[in-house]
Amino acid sequence: MTEMRLQRALARAGVASRRAAEQLIEDGRVRVDGKVATLGMKVDPDRQRITVGGRAVKARALRWLAFHKPLGVVTTASDEAGRRTVLDFIPDNAGLTYVGRLDVMTTGLLLLTTDGEAVHRLTHPRYRIPRRYTALAHGRSTAEIAQAVGQKVVIDGRPVVPEE
């Protein structure tokens, strides 16, 4: 592994989010090779000993899961309304996050991973990753659906139109 910021290494190991890791470092609870760590320092987790509160931090292997999201399940880590979430279906879900989202009334493939960097690259608009969705509608005529799909939709102030 190459050098990275300490808070990133802690987040990758599942110790805490990057923000929470920054707080642990600022509180003086993190040591690298026996010395108190400082915010922004670079580490190589494969070559250096990192501890938090005296306990060794071990790097975790990155995990990727393909999950078929059922109808009525929320794509979120926790839900204030008490609805089931995608993470409720995964017994060992520590550090997992989802790549994109599916609406509560939508079923389909959802990727879950511990690789936050990959999630960012796949979902941030700056990287212009093309997406394709297939929708099946029940109860309406084909003409009604075609007309609705062909209309301009505005999301976050930007027009979104069908590609084909």
Length of the chain equals 164
Q: Which structure tokens are listed for 101?
A: 């989202």
Query: Is residue 88 flagged as an active site residue?
Result: no
Partners of residue 4 on adjacent β-strands:
43
d(CA 4, CA 40): 9
Tell me which of 46, 103, 115, 156 is the catalytic residue: 103
* Amino acid symbol at 139: G
Q: How many CB atoms sit inside 10 A of residue 34's CB? A: 7
User: What is the distance of C-alpha 93 from the center of its chain?
Assistant: 12
Q: How is 95-112 classified by DSSP, letter by letter?
A: T-EEES---TT--EEEEE
Rounded to a whole number of angstroms, the distance between the first and last alpha carbons of the chain is 42
Q: Which residues are catalytic?
A: 103
